[in-house]
Amino acid sequence: MEAPRVDSTSQRVSRQCMATESINGELQACTSWTIKWETMRPSSRVPLMVLCDVHRSHMVKHHCCPGCGYFCIAGTFLECCPDQRIAHRFHRGCVTVLSGGRSRANGGGMLFCPHCGEDASEAQEITIPSSASATTVVTMSASSTTTPSLPPSVPMAPSLSASTGGAKDGKIPERPISARMRSHGLVTPAVEQQQPPQTVASAATVAAVPPAEEGVDSVGPSVCMPNGKPVNPSALPPGPSRAALQKAILTQDTERRKKLRFHPRQLYPAAKQGEVQRVLLMLLEGIDPTYQPESQNRRSALHAAAQRGLLEVCYMLVQAGANVDAKDKDMRTPLLEAVINNHIDVARYLIQNGACVYHIEDDGYTGLHHAAKLGNLEIVNMLLETGQVDVNAQDTGGWTPIIWAAEHKHVKVIKSLLNRGADVTINDKELNVCLHWAAYAGNVDIAELVLNAGCSLSSVNMHGDTPLHIAAREGFLECVTLFLSRGADIDVVNREGDTPLTLAKVDTPVWVSLQINRKLRRGITNRLIRTERIICSDVAQGYENIPIPCVNAVDDEGCPSDYKYVSENCETSAMNIDRNFTHLQHCNCTDDCSSSNCLCGQLSIRCWYDKDQRLLQEFNKIEPPLIFECNMACSCYRTCKNRVVQAGIKVRLQLYRTEKMGWGVRAMQDIPQGSFICEYVGELISDAEADVREDDSYLFDLDNKDGEVYCIDARYYGNISRFINHLCDPNLIPVRVFMLHQDLRFPRIAFFSSRDILSGQELGFDYGDRFWDIKSKYFTCQCGSEKCKHSAEAIALEQSRLARMEACSDSGADCGVTMLGSS
């Protein structure tokens, strides 16, 4: 109840008592005269009233309902007795009923008294007859029924009558009458403008929500923040968070009257300690929710609430305007705090409110790294379902989410990541792959999953260790057995000169298993076929995203070493390439560059990549157009879909010894049509320089139509593409691509798959007729295709055809008839 006071309202109204009594749904106005001018009201939700002495006495006794402003003197209502001498009366329709307090099966919910805000579950429903001398009858307790005995506190068409006087014939007047009646109908203009009792008259607007039909599903009042956004408990799931917010809103009127003053730096500790009411009061007073104190490492209140998992505090802060992507000095956001501390509800709420799911910390961690490390499958799936996270993102140590999950033995998380396309062949900074960490963890289930996903048993880290080395050193018998059953080499030596057998402890089960396997392998003699040897674990020497092993099952030739492996084109003389940053045409996209408004896509006619970063089906494979990928000047994110070639090799390849064509390259996985394979990399030289070079077997013409012509020579400097052989029925097509610069004289040459390629198939592209016009004098094509045009047989047939045509031309005979007759 608010203390009596004299104000402009009390001085303008007539001397008629403004009290209204609610008796079983009927409203009765008091017709008594007032003696005192002080105004009173039960809560800030109800307009001020001038009352007669009788109703002033009832107001002091807390017999006026704070929700609707009607007096509970007769009829049926609830009564809360926090003290034997005090009875708080109110209507069931005006009380807060929470389903989180008690189970619905027990027949009730948790009540909060609108007078004192305390738990009123034991409040009793009483009935007082209209006669003041009648005995009070207790009908039932407030928590013992699910059906309210009263209609909503503000009915659409209430029954109206006067307690003394009014319509003489007892009929309701035809003209609509205000719920707060005046017996003589005399109301000053100032009073007419006042809001009805159920309307909130406060800057922080509180509105009582009508109870549901069943009586126990009300979510209580709401409050409006200074920015205009509402804070309503119904936005939160049922439970302690909703109940805490409900109680804070119910009692905020009382607390605000204390005129407390706050400083912005008080918001952080209040949020951290979960002081819901204090946080609410600060926000209602206009404290900035985005404030990031230096003393707290620039952590905002939302950081603290997310770290503690306080959903109700996070909700209030976000509604008040808190930045969901605020970064502290460690570049950590509130979402990362929620993920790190396994607060699923808070993480879900922040994601639903636009929190960045791909944000990267100083150490390179993303939310997916943390969730995978902790094994929180629900958060992992939640992040993956947004479609915005990079499942293969690497932190500063080169670790991907699946590597973290492997080290910490989270099998279900690994399965989920694999289903979303996680790459198990990515190396960390020490060249470990996921299988190394599975072996280190000793989890055979994870090791088998990773092996089945395509991770190589022969992968070596910077110390020369294979997964078998690690499993043998750590003594994990199940992993050792699995690796041996998959054909792991027990004689491979690391940089310290150790084999898996020498690393195993003598006479242990692991040592015995390795000894037996070694004897079995050495006992196999007179092998009919030559076994494939791994002669290099990575010809790229770590310069590519994925290791490229080299194997030989044909002869004793070692790994090629007559060139320098480079992952990008190099220059040995000045080329004057236009790399001026200001000359780059760029887009201003804020999405993933999938719209037709992307300028880079317009330069390419359109964006030719689909959501899986493959060439579209309608891409012209015969006359491929130029592709302009997004560059450093673009506004888009690094993971936009128009950055494919610059992301590097993503498919598993192998350099192997062929039977007839020397070295070749084959796929170690199924490759869909339109996938980027690799780039043709080498030394940039002019056409004049190319003409004087002795070995022209590795020249690739850049096909510049205007001005001087340039070539790429991969003889002395090159990458894996220098080993790709010619195929008359090619499965690769070269496409000219621009990325870091847009100098049309120097396009990058990217190879894309022209059809689906199965694992184990050789890769090849068409070298072109110009190449074979010169080289056919020295060797012929060995591709073995039915469509082969440059084999010895095809060349012989072509020469025979030309000779016949020449003979016919010299004799003047009909060549067509001659050739037909000879056949």
Q: What is the pLDDT of residue 130?
A: 73
pLDDT, averaged per 10 consecutive residues of the chain (823 residues), comes to 54 73 84 86 83 90 88 88 81 66 44 77 82 41 37 35 38 38 34 36 39 38 85 88 86 69 87 90 90 90 94 94 92 94 94 92 92 94 92 92 94 93 91 93 93 89 93 93 88 90 90 85 60 86 90 88 93 90 91 89 91 91 92 90 92 91 92 95 91 86 77 94 92 94 92 94 90 79 82 78 76 50 36
| 110, part of any domain | yes
Residue at token pair 């990575």: 538
Residue at token pair 């126990």: 216
Question: How far apart, in whole angstroms, are the C-alpha atoms of residue 106 and residue 103?
Answer: 6
Question: How far apart, in whole angstroms, are the C-alpha atoms of residue 196 and residue 154?
Answer: 10
| 113, part of any domain | yes
Give me 562's structure tokens: 């007559």
Q: In this structure, are 227 and 285 located in the same domain? A: yes
Q: In this structure, are 718 and 668 located in the same domain? A: yes
CATH of the domain at 411: 1.25.40.20
Q: In this structure, are 23 and 171 located in the same domain? A: yes
Which residue, of 179, 207, 235, is where some domain finishes? 207
Contact 107, 144 (CB under 8 A): yes
Q: What is the pLDDT of residue 185?
A: 35
Count Cβ atoms below 10 Å from residue 724 Cβ, excluding itself: 25
Q: What is the pLDDT of residue 5?
A: 56
| 411, part of any domain | yes
| 66, part of any domain | yes
Question: How far apart, in whole angstroms, are the C-alpha atoms of residue 355 and residue 389?
Answer: 12
Give me 337's structure tokens: 């705090």
Domain count for the chain, please give it: 4
Q: What is the pLDDT of residue 519?
A: 79
Q: What is the pLDDT of residue 144?
A: 40
Q: What is the pLDDT of residue 96?
A: 62
Global pTM value: 0.50
Q: In this structure, are 129 and 256 located in the same domain? A: no
Which residue, of 182, 207, 232, is where some domain finishes? 207
Count Cβ atoms below 10 Å from residue 523 Cβ, excluding itself: 7
Contact 313, 269 (CB under 8 A): no
Q: In this structure, are 194 and 291 located in the same domain? A: no
Q: In this structure, are 148 and 239 located in the same domain? A: no
The neighbouring-strand residues paired with 666 are 654, 762
Q: In this structure, are 307 and 431 located in the same domain? A: yes
Question: How far apart, in whole angstroms, are the C-alpha atoms of residue 449 and residue 118?
Answer: 56
Q: In this structure, are 615 and 708 located in the same domain? A: yes
| 494, part of any domain | no
Contacts of 173 (CB under 8 A, 6+ apart): 167
Please give the single-letter amino acid code of residue 116. Answer: C
CATH of the domain at 695: 2.170.270.10
| 323, part of any domain | yes
Which residue, of 166, 181, 207, is where some domain finishes? 207
| 685, part of any domain | yes
Angle between helices 367-374 and 377-385 (to 10 degrees): 150
Q: pLDDT tens across 682-705, in order?
A: 999 988 888 888 888 889 988 776
Give me 22's structure tokens: 């609610």
Q: In this structure, are 759 and 821 located in the same domain? A: no
Secondary-structure breakdown of the chain: helix, strand, coil percentages, each rounded to the nearest 5: 30, 15, 55
Give me 404's structure tokens: 């973290």
Q: Which domain holds residue 822?
A: 797-823
Pairing of strands 124-128, 75-83: antiparallel
Q: In this structure, are 329 and 348 located in the same domain? A: yes
| 652, part of any domain | yes
Q: What is the pLDDT of residue 136?
A: 39
Contact 80, 120 (CB under 8 A): yes
Q: In this structure, are 172 and 297 located in the same domain? A: no
Question: How far apart, in whole angstroms, are the C-alpha atoms of residue 370 and residue 383?
Answer: 11
Q: Is 33 helix (H, G, I), strand (E, B) or coil?
A: strand
Q: In this structure, are 177 and 276 located in the same domain? A: no
Please give the single-letter amino acid code of residue 772. Answer: W
